[in-house]
Amino acid sequence: MIRFFTLLLFVTSLFSAQVENLRWSNGETYLVFLERVNLPVKKLYYDLDKDDQRLTEEMRAGVNYQILKDNNSTIEQVLLPLNDELQIHLYRDKNEYHFEAIPIISSTKTEAFALEITRSPNYDILKQTDSQKIAQIFTANFRNSLNFKRDLRVGDPLVMIYEQKYRLGLPFSMPTLKVAMIEMRGKQHFIYLNDDGRYYDEKAHEVEGFLLARPVKGARISSYFTKRRFHPILKKWKAHLGVDYAARRGTPVVAAGSGRVIKAGRAGSYGNLIKIRHADGYETRYAHLKSFRRGIRRGKYVKKGQTIGYVGTTGRSTGPHLHFELRKRGRAINPLRVVQVTTKKLKGKEKKAFLKLKKNYDESVNLHLTNKTAFIKSANHETCCYVFAG
Ligand SMILES: [Zn+2]
């Protein structure tokens, strides 16, 4: 409970003490930050375990963070958001500084709106919602299946239902699209978010997104992606920003997508690491490799499915496995949302469950269509605190 108490203290003292709202600058690292603001580097970095040290590498340019100072300008607390669920909390207690990773407290609301096209989905959604993010999730999800330019007419209706996270009453982080419908030439087209975290159309066929291959064929997943999880033995919050595939030492690792190798070498706790840069700001990372395939080096172009290295246990690793990460513009995302060999068609029990979900969604969509539900603008956009720029 201490954790939440300290956080609450921070929130309530926002208005009495001196809070600086700052933006993490390009090229700043956690270590440089500690030195710049005169915080003890040994206690707050070198004494941390490797997992916590790894977390500090997640700070990204553009993120809003806060420093709380007392009347003598001594730093009392620092909040550094790492992703939309976890943040680093540095605080002073009895003249000593401490490090902890704590959850970001947020609430989630389901929201919906309907509109009629005047120009294009992107233009009209943006006009109605003022949100680049909401427009973006709509167009990104329909991009591969529909041709708006050819088939869309003025007056065609569109409905979106999505989840938005809020912190202290303000929206933050990317919304999650639950269902979207757009009507073109009298035909309704849907996308539904299924319980498996993937999108399907009205025929229970998976909607093709950014397709990647599985990096180790037939391997069992031994650890899933999570932005935060409470470790019951260590009694602290951690993140696992990748997926672990357990496989025998020497098992070939293939490039999950075509792209250019931007690193093939040692990288601290990652051990032998390969990084590949793909189109659209995507990057994949393959860690703990036993060795690299001959000829795989920085600058080399590789094709999807091509062997690049071999499973090992180099770096901080307890046994042979591949630690696989997917990043988009630096931010870690769950690879299982996109890694797949082919698109899926739901069958049997899975299809039945999906159709039930679909029926509920369809009813809501029709309701919003009939009611012409308008987008509800939230309170003013952030002027100060706790909003994670993302
Ligand atoms: Zn891992």
Averaged confidence pLDDT in the chain: 86
Express each pLDDT in 248-303 by its tens digit.
999 999 999 889 999 999 998 899 999 999 987 889 999 999 999 999 999 999 99
C-alpha pair distances (Å), 232 with each of 1, 229, 237, 238 = 15, 9, 9, 10
Which residues, 6+ apart, have CB-to-CB distance to 233 below 8 Å? none
Is residue 123's pLDDT more than 60? yes
8 A C-beta contact, residue 191 and residue 154: no
Arithmetic mean of pLDDT, 218-234? 87
Q: What is the pTM of this model?
A: 0.64
Q: What percentage of the chain carries pLDDT values higher than 70?
A: 89
- Cα(33) to ligand 1 centroid in Å equals 27
Express each pLDDT in 315-336 by its tens digit.
988 899 999 999 988 889 888 8
For residue 384, the model assigns a pLDDT of: 35
Arithmetic mean of pLDDT, 4-10? 48
- Cα(35) to ligand 1 centroid in Å equals 30
Best CA proximity match to 99, nearest among 82, 83, 81, 77: 77
Q: Which residue has the higher pLDDT, 164 or 13?
A: 164
- Cα(118) to ligand 1 centroid in Å equals 47
Cα–chain center distance at 376? 25
- Cα(369) to ligand 1 centroid in Å equals 44
- Cα(15) to ligand 1 centroid in Å equals 41
Arithmetic mean of pLDDT, 49-53? 88
Q: Which residue has the higher pLDDT, 17 or 227?
A: 227
8 A C-beta contact, residue 84 and residue 173: yes
For residue 328, the model assigns a pLDDT of: 85
For residue 383, the model assigns a pLDDT of: 35
For residue 166, the model assigns a pLDDT of: 83
For residue 5, the model assigns a pLDDT of: 42
- Cα(41) to ligand 1 centroid in Å equals 26
- Cα(157) to ligand 1 centroid in Å equals 44
**Cα 125-128-132 angle, rounded to 5 deg:** 50
- Cα(322) to ligand 1 centroid in Å equals 7
The least confident of 46-60, 335-349, 364-378 is: 335-349
Provide the residue type at 359 as one letter: K
For residue 180, the model assigns a pLDDT of: 95
8 A C-beta contact, residue 62 and residue 9: no
- How sure is the predictor about 340, in pLDDT bands with cuts at 50, 70 and 90? low
DSSP 319-378: SSEEEEEEEETTEEE-GGGTB-SS--B--HHHHHHHHHHHHHHHHHHHHHHHHTPPPPPP
